[in-house]
Amino acid sequence: MGELKLCCLGVSHKTAPVSVREQFSFKGEELESALLKLNALPSVEESMVLSTCNRVEIYFTTRSETPFKEVIDFLIDEKGADLDQINSHFYRKVDRDAVRHGFYVASSLDSMVVGEPQIVGQFKDAFSLAKELGTIGTVLCRFCETALKVSKRVRTETGISKNAVSISFAAVELAKKIFGELHGKRVAIIGAGEMAELAVKHLMTNGASEVFVVNRTFERAQKLAQEFGGKAFPLTELETVLKMADIVISSTGAPGYVLTPENVLPALKERKHRPMFLIDIAVPRDIDPALNDYEGLYVYDIDDLQQVVDANIKERLREAEVAKEIIEGYVERFMKWLRELEVAPLIAELKEKAESIRKEVLSKRLPKLGLTPEQEQEVDNITRIIINKLLHQPITSVKRKAVEEEARNQVVQIFREIFGLGKE
């Protein structure tokens, strides 16, 4: 029987286009069925499948000298793929590399957007399904629990998920800097761009109280307002809306400027110069850049927002380096545990043999000594202490050597020979 290995066979946004990733994805009942079939493979001891939009990864343990062969054959049969496809797009990771990769994935360091929160929930779901179906055991259970612990530490001890890395979230971040908090702030959306709608949703999630929708087509304005629980206005009532709105998001696609000093400044005066945050997500631009020159107006176009996003991405990548240091410590501890686990049966066998000899000798010798029950108990305790002290050093040594991959097999063999283990 070979050495236990923890492996990962996977494909992700880094190694394959979506057309390939979707071919290998598993969903719903298909995922359950595939996981059960996978775990029934002769060489697979434990298994878990993580299947998301951006990745499909199979984590498994095996003692096979060719650890990936059966799992690859399974994928070929299950998905109608060919070996060239898998060789071109799939990565194979074993032991330390697999553990590190899994911890990176759970902590979102391997995500398309570093720091995104969705992956940890997806990882938890994959872990829960494997537990529910009984395809996971001691090793992968410990691996998943550690990965989730690592993910939590990375999120709480680094700034990897703190800064906005999408245009719509950047708008929220800037709004918070301008107003402090968004509770009670009123938002106007002009036009119906998807990015603008998403920004409004994020603003409302973060406390904005009311939404006004202005559109050249009033029916479209009504439909969108209904989605937000807001009020619809035709474009002819834009100036009325500007007087009420603290945050204005414009995305019309109109040929000229929609917001100009002529219609914004009267609204600002009516508001007694309370600040207005104007967000221009349109190309060509909807908001006249001249409005930047007036106090109380904060004007950002899509390039400004993109600069915020780019700066935040750089900051996240810096924080990712801190996260990697945290992860590396957990990788070392997990690998130490895994290798010690490998020699656990050997240690148990030694302890069992020592206890058997101790009991055999005591059962023959104690009755001849004529001791009281209390004295017999004390002799029993003394012999246990002697056995424990005698075995402590060799057990500690074999555990330590178990972590050293080059020396492990040789040390285990010597250990067996010295103590006569594995023999009749």
For 199-240, list the strands marked E by DSSP. Answer: 210-215, 231-234
pLDDT tens column, 258-270: 999 999 999 999 9
The total domain count for the chain is: 3
Residues 188 and 56 in one domain: no
**Comparison of pLDDT for 346 and 239, the residue scoring more:** 239
Residues 243 and 196 in one domain: yes
SS (H, E, C) 245-271: CCEEEEECCCCCCCECHHHHHHHHHHC
Residue 160 has a pLDDT of 87
Instruction: Give me the mean pLDDT over the 290-296 stretch.
Output: 93
The CATH number assigned to the domain holding 226 equals 3.40.50.720
Mean pLDDT of the chain: 89
Residues 177 and 275 in one domain: yes
Residues 146 and 261 in one domain: no
Residue 313: count other Cβ atoms within 10 Å of its Cβ.
16
**Comparison of pLDDT for 192 and 359, the residue scoring more:** 359
Q: How far apart are the first and last CA of the chain?
A: 19
Residues 21 and 123 in one domain: yes
Residue 203 and residue 171 in contact, taking contact as beta carbons nearer than 8 Å: yes
Collect all residues with Cβ–Cβ distance below 8 Å to 331 and sequence separation of at least 6: 96, 99, 100, 103
Q: Is 53 a catalytic residue?
A: yes
Distances from the Cα of 75 to the Cα of 56, 129, 200, 265, angstroms: 11, 19, 43, 64
Is 331 contained in some domain?
A: no
Is 162 contained in some domain?
A: no
Residues 10 and 87 in one domain: yes
- Decide which of 157, 177, 200 is a domain's last residue: 157
Residues 137 and 83 in one domain: yes
pLDDT over 80 (residue 95)? yes
Residue 306 has a pLDDT of 87
Is 325 contained in some domain?
A: no
Residues 140 and 188 in one domain: no
Categorize the per-residue pLDDT at 116 as very low, low, confident or very high, splitting at 50, 70 and 90: confident
Q: Which residue in the list 8, 53, 141, 144 is annotated as catalytic?
A: 53
Is 254 contained in some domain?
A: yes
Residue 423 has a pLDDT of 56
Distances from the Cα of 393 to the Cα of 166, 258, 262, 349, angstroms: 57, 81, 86, 16
Residues 176 and 153 in one domain: no
Instruction: Give me the mean pLDDT over the 103-125 stretch.
Output: 91
Is 338 contained in some domain?
A: no
Residue 60 and residue 44 in contact, taking contact as beta carbons nearer than 8 Å: yes
Phi-psi region of 222 (alpha: psi -120 to 50; beta: other; left: phi over 0): alpha
Is 233 contained in some domain?
A: yes
Give the range of the structural domain holding residue 194, as residue numbers without chain letter.
Answer: 167-307
Is 30 contained in some domain?
A: yes
Residues 151 and 196 in one domain: no
pLDDT tens column, 266-289: 999 999 889 999 999 888 899 999
What's the rounded Cα separation, in Å, for the pair 236 and 257? 15
pLDDT tens column, 357-397: 888 899 998 998 889 999 989 998 899 888 888 888 887 77
pLDDT over 60 (residue 401)? yes
Residues 9 and 152 in one domain: yes
Beta bridge partners of 94: 7
pLDDT over 50 (residue 136)? yes
**Comparison of pLDDT for 413 and 35, the residue scoring more:** 35
What are the tokens at 386? 């002697």
Residues 114 and 216 in one domain: no
The CATH number assigned to the domain holding 41 equals 3.30.460.30
- Decide which of 307, 326, 355 is a domain's last residue: 307
Residue 164 has a pLDDT of 65
Is 320 contained in some domain?
A: no
